[in-house]
Amino acid sequence: MHAMFKALGIQDASAEEAWAAVEAADKEKDVDDIKKSIFAYAKAYPALTFEELEQTFRDADMNTYIISGDP
């Protein structure tokens, strides 16, 4: 997983900083920044699950949702 973060250029950030970036990107509806900030948050908070993240998006009435697809 860390190799993926490195390959994508995901910088180190605290969970709080990364979450603030998720909220800002969601507010601006900037898809590229949303993806980068979610990866930064996942890097800072490795115990995070997609289910928890999706529930948080819904509970906070955010614009972002996680949609699963067929592999």
> Does residue 58 register a pLDDT over 70?
yes
pLDDT tens per residue across span 7-38: 878 888 999 999 999 999 999 999 999 999 99
Buried b (16+ CB within 10 A) or exposed e, 11-49: eebeeeebbebbeebbeeeeeeebebbbbbbbbbeeeee
Where along the chain do its domains lie? 2-59
